[in-house]
Homo-oligomer: A and B are copies of this chain.
Amino acid sequence: MPGRRLSLVVVALVLIAAPPLAAGGPPEFSATTDEAFDAAALGSYEGEHSAVYAHIDQNLDAHLGSIQRWLRQRSISAQNVGIQEMAEMLRSDLEGMDFAEAELVPTSGHPGVWGYYDAGADKTLVLYLMYDVQPVDPEDWESPPFEANVIDHQFGRVIMARAATNQKGPERAFFNALESILAVEGTLPVNLMIAAEGEEEIGSPNYPEVIAKYEDRLRSADGVLFPFNSQDPRGDVSMFLGVKGILYFELEARGNETGGPKEAEIHGSLKAMVDSPVLKLIQAIASMTSVDGNTILIPGYYDPIRPPTHEEETLINALLDDWETQETMLKQAFAVDRFANDMTGRDLLMSYLYTTTLNVDGIWAGYTGEGSKTILPHMATAKMDSRLAPNQRPEEALEMIRKHLDDNGFGDLEIRQLGGYPPAQTSVEAPLVQAAIRVYNKYGKTPDVSPRIGGSAPYYVFTELGLPLVAGGLGHGSGAHAPNEYMVIEPHEGSEIADLAQIEKFYVDLLYALAE
Chain A residues within 8 Å of B, Cβ to Cβ = 1-2, 5-6, 8-9, 12-13, 15-16, 20, 77-79, 134-135, 140, 201-203, 244, 246, 248, 255-276, 278-280, 282-283, 285-287, 289, 291-294, 330, 334-340, 343, 348, 351-352, 355-378, 380-381, 383, 385, 387, 408-409, 418-419, 453-456, 480-483
In whole angstroms, what is the CA distance A376 to B482 when docked?
10
Residues of B within 8 A of A482 (CB): 264-267, 375
Q: 10 closest A-B pairs (Cβ-Cβ)?
A: A279-B293, A78-B371, A286-B286, A12-B12, A362-B366, A271-B357, A263-B335, A269-B454, A271-B359, A362-B367
In whole angstroms, what is the CA distance A134 to B202 when docked?
37
A175 to chain B, nearest CB (A): 26
B262 touches A358 (CB 8 A): no
Given A272-B355, A371-B418, answer yes or no on A282-B279 (Cβ-Cβ < 8 Å).
no
In whole angstroms, what is the CA distance A456 to B374 when docked?
10
Q: Most chain-B Cβ atoms within 10 A of its Cβ — which of A12, A339, A409?
A: A12
Copy total for this chain = 2
A-B contact pairs, 21 of them (CB 8 A): A2-B5, A78-B372, A248-B374, A262-B336, A267-B455, A273-B339, A273-B351, A275-B294, A276-B293, A276-B359, A278-B360, A280-B292, A282-B363, A283-B292, A291-B409, A361-B367, A362-B365, A362-B367, A371-B418, A373-B383, A373-B481
Given A282-B286, A364-B364, A383-B367, answer yes or no on A258-B5 (Cβ-Cβ < 8 Å).
no
Residues of B within 8 A of A455 (CB): 267, 269
In whole angstroms, what is the CA distance A8 to B10 when docked?
10
Given A78-B369, A268-B361, answer yes or no on A259-B9 (Cβ-Cβ < 8 Å).
no
In whole angstroms, what is the CA distance A285 to B338 when docked?
23
In whole angstroms, what is the CA distance A271 to B269 when docked?
37
In whole angstroms, what is the CA distance A259 to B342 when docked?
9
A442 to chain B, nearest CB (A): 30
Given A2-B2, A140-B264, A367-B362, answer yes or no on A274-B339 (Cβ-Cβ < 8 Å).
yes
Nearest B residue (CB) for A378: B335
Residues of B within 8 A of A352 (CB): 272-273
B267 touches A480 (CB 8 A): yes
A229 to chain B, nearest CB (A): 14
Pick from B259, B272, B286, B387: contact of A336, CB below 8 A: B259
